[in-house]
Amino acid sequence: MASVIGGQLVTTIANTVKDAPPYMLAGYFLLSLFVLTQIFYLLIYTVAPTPRDILRSETTYKHIEANGSIGTSKPLPYWKNAYEQRKRTAREKGDLSDSSVRIEDAEVSMSLVVPAFNEENRLGIMLKEAVGYLQKEYGKDKSRITANGSMRHRPKGAQEQNGHISQANGSAGKVPTGWEVLIVSDGSTDKTIDTALEFARSLGSESAGSIRVISLVENRGKGGAVTHGMRHVRGEYAVFADADGASKFEDLGKLLRELKKVQDDDGRGVAVGSRAHLVGSEEVVKRSFLRNLLMHSFHLLLWILTPKATAAIRDTQCGFKLFSRPALPYIIPHMHSESWIFDVEMLMLAEAASIPVAEVPIGWHEVQGSKLNVLWDSLGMAWGLFVLRAAWAMGVYSRT
């Protein structure tokens, strides 16, 4: 009985379509397309990730005092507040161009953000390598020309006089020196925070205060931890690096040199560490067939789903990326993804803002203890990439 009714329905529809004038068919088609588009929009709107609100305690940091004790929690600086105020002031004066609004001056040369979730066993090793390099290259006694031969960024319209940068508006600001490390404990349940503070204490009174430890009450994901740290950096440049120490940290010098080669007249630029040159190496070849298959499949999805410049980057997922300070307002406030796919969103935002990106080969090695589930996290990244691209393409996400 059901098959007979179904057959009659199909016949009726076919006859209606056959007899309908072309303009009516076109109307039906457009209406159907509109309805399907709205349904798809609602679906993406429903599943697109929305970062949770930031808790008050997450806007403070712990540090080690000169006497070796843990200091009282202090509020983190947030460059976006001053940036947004400057933008509002400019628009009140009739200037609708964001290019005329600048982020507040840096206080140190280099900021390092380290996302850490239950990393008590690996964090200390990574910090020893990273801080050793930062002390050597960005110590407060360094001149404007660093040991790696690169000159610090001079803002557009600025001139140097007696070792100071004179801004176009006549104000002067000393070229920043020094470094800082922001360790973002992403809801860790082990001794990650204690490990970070103990490492800071081991540096002694001169450098201990350069380590800031931020505690997120609930786990946000690696992307959420990185984004949170980047909101509070004080550096002329800001880099994030994984807590496992897989990336060769001294290659930060390479990233900085290549970033300065491509940055635009406003000082905006991004440099991404890349392991693409290692694809044929023994370490990669020895990986399981499934892991290599998923890696190549993800690269294919990136090529299909992402904009041209982002798709051209051979390694979007390396946890070693450097940003110039003027680039941050165009990327960090607009981040939504807090999962493994956040790197791609950063690069897409940079591309949308016409920020130059350099891909730089770096040293890298496998480190035991990865929290990545190869199969499930790969599937999650593929789904996250699809949702991310659709959300930006359909206007679920926007820069306003």
Token pair recorded at residue 394? 């359909």
Token pair recorded at residue 322? 């450097």
Residue that is written with structure tokens 């349904």 in the block: 39
What pLDDT digit, counting tens, does each position of 108-161 carry?
A: 999 999 999 999 999 999 999 999 999 999 986 554 434 343 444 444 444 433
Q: Of 132, 134, 333, 161, give the one whose Cα is nearest residue 253.
A: 134
Mean pLDDT, residues 150-173 taken together: 40
**CA distance readout (Å), 57 to 74, 225, 254, 332:** 10, 14, 36, 20
Greater pLDDT, 367 or 37: 37
Instruction: Give yes or no for a contact between 310 and 347, defined as CB atoms under 8 angstroms apart.
Output: yes
What pLDDT digit, counting tens, does each position of 217-265 carry?
A: 999 999 999 999 999 999 999 999 999 998 999 999 999 999 999 999 9
Assess whether pLDDT exceeds 80 at residue 162: no
Q: Of 263, 272, 264, 209, give the one whose Cα is nearest residue 239.
A: 272
Q: Within 10 Å of residue 121's Cβ, how many Cβ atoms?
A: 15
Greater pLDDT, 383 or 5: 383
What pLDDT digit, counting tens, does each position of 325-381 carry?
A: 999 999 999 999 998 899 999 999 999 999 999 999 999 887 776 666 666 777 888
**CA distance readout (Å), 161 to 165, 167, 172, 326:** 6, 10, 9, 22
Q: What is the DSSP string of 114-129?
A: EEESS-TTTHHHHHHH
Instruction: Give the 3-state secondary structure of residue 30.
Output: helix
